[in-house]
Chains A and B, each alone.
Chain A
């Protein structure tokens, strides 16, 4: 599904170069549930952004379903992200003045889906995160946990192959965080959606089937967890 080959990323700001990712190789299979852990600044988000084609590597390449993404045009990458990937970030990036429905259907609007299609998909996604009764509430009136569930529904609506989640529970207390985690794992189990979770929460990481640990821009360990069996 996803493959990183000799992936490097160097940021340069104000003439200072910083190598955030050093020659990383990684392969993620369909239906995998992968946690990326490591200290802050170790390059977790950078790796995730490159895998998700949100950014271009300085060297190396990312393959999606065997195809080299470095050869894709910006437009093709946009389509790829829109159709194959879903995103959940630590910050919600919801439009508070819009309804839950409006926030959730954004990827479908970007895709140019018909209104009927959009409503049907939205119903399904909202039901999956159990927010059907809040569909027409303004997003700003929701609790933190509900907001993150809206984000999951937004990631889910396009029926993606992979969901990338960058510290999805970072802004939530442990109870609501667990509920959100469970929801993500449920998507992975029931719909076979590949899950790539960036976290420094060990409990969350241990619920994944595979954990890779990063340090100074490199993968220092890659192991299956007990949850895998």
Chain B
């Protein structure tokens, strides 16, 4: 028999008992629908996170911290802690945050001997008080530092490119001028306090308006040079300057070079992560969530596959004589097996197509409703995202499950003895 004839035969057989086929397809529909939804939810979350983190770029940057040894049996380990009046430590942390601080000479010795390093920027922390453009209306300032090698993408203007520049968040920008492009090149004044309490100001040129994201929704950013200046002026303690972290800018984004540097730093007692490493951690968490949800959908599909087995076992019984005739007329076992397998795959296929279409439709409606309700707080957030690849994989997976479900009945059919099947009493 030709392949096309096999498909035609299987399809006809399915149409012979429309109600039974429909009910079996429905069970698969429910499973595929659920899988499409859970998958879409996971992809939606990932897309949202991706849209939020991708505006901070820096494929040559490695952020380095001191590795801290968390003492075994600390409060986080769940063991009860004995109260000591003298300790006076109100921190929830089970390690001394000061132990993480690094001096410039410690940083220098950490980077010594590393290959491919272009530059090193310590994390200069500082605190700004307000930001103003016309001097009349001031806004509370939240300003961070972007190390060399890390950029915040901009909607208007350009990323930071020199000293005394600032990238502002789009919320603040719209407040200053709804036409945000007009702001590029203008000067804002940033106020900050010296240790003795006196307010000082510094004029900064707006390089651009940051693309929205977790980091840039509320915070402005200045370059390392500007941060270093403010940090120096705000320094209180005597003794050597200390930093919580530093960033290594590599000469290239070559993965092997970055891996080598990370390994060496790790051996020296540092935690070294690229931006991609940090993003991956979030994606992995979403991935675990998605897998967990998909497992529920797979249980539904597993239940539905018993429906397929049941339907086909009955079909084999019903068509015993027909199978006997086909074999008598020279149809091989393989073809009989193929006809029944195709029937189960077709049930799976139609269930999957209807299920994914239903899932996509439901998801898109849900997105519309949710956007209407939560647009303000989660801009650009779609609860469900449907990707052609995911959908294709769902359909293929369901077809594969259906195929496996059909194997037992199909083998039964192919092994029928034609004489027995055609015997009449």
Contacts and interface: CB of A to CB of B under 8 A. Distances in A.
Contact of A82 (B322, B324, B329): B329
B328 interface: yes
Interface stretch (B171-179, B207-215, B417-425): B417-425
B330 interface: yes
Contacts of A87: 328-329
Interface in A67-115: 74-75, 78-83, 87, 89-91, 93, 95, 97-98, 106-107, 109-112
Given A91-B424, A97-B16, A109 B5 contact: yes
A54 B330 contact: no
B19 interface: no
Contact of B330 (A49, A82, A90, A95): A82
B1 A90 contact: no
A55 interface: yes
B202 interface: no
Contacts of B324: 93
B325 interface: yes
B332 interface: yes
B326 A110 contact: yes
Contacts of A55: 419
A104 B12 CA distance: 16
A75 B329 contact: no
Give the interface size class of chain B. Answer: 20 to 34
B2 interface: yes
Nearest to A154: B329
B331 interface: yes
A101 to B, nearest CB: 14
A82 B1 CA distance: 11
A43 to B, nearest CB: 13
Nearest to A112: B2
B329 A110 contact: yes
B332 A74 contact: yes
B326 A106 contact: yes
B424 to A, nearest CB: 5
B422 A93 contact: yes
A83 B321 CA distance: 21
B52 to A, nearest CB: 58
Interface in B104-148: none
Contacts of A83: 330
A93 B418 CA distance: 12
A81 B330 contact: yes
Nearest to A81: B330
Residue among B321, B322, B424 having the largest count of chain A Cβ atoms under 10 Å: B424
B330 A93 contact: no
A112 B332 contact: no
Contacts of A89: 422, 424
A82 B418 CA distance: 14
B290 interface: no
Given A74-B332, A78-B332, A107-B330, A93 B321 contact: yes
B325 A111 contact: no
A157 B327 CA distance: 17
Interface in B333-349: 333, 335
B419 to A, nearest CB: 5
A138 B239 CA distance: 101
A56 B156 CA distance: 85
Contact of A93 (B12, B325, B332): B325
Contacts of B328: 54, 81, 87
A49 B5 contact: no
Given A54-B418, A55-B419, A93-B422, A78 B1 contact: no
Nearest to A110: B331
Q: Which 5 A-B pairs have the closest CB atoms?
A: A82-B330, A78-B330, A93-B325, A81-B330, A110-B331
Given A78-B332, A110-B335, 11 more contacts: A74-B333, A78-B327, A82-B330, A90-B424, A91-B424, A93-B322, A93-B325, A97-B16, A107-B329, A110-B329, A112-B2
15 contacts: A49-B419, A54-B328, A74-B333, A75-B332, A78-B331, A89-B424, A91-B321, A91-B424, A93-B321, A93-B324, A93-B422, A106-B326, A109-B5, A110-B329, A112-B2
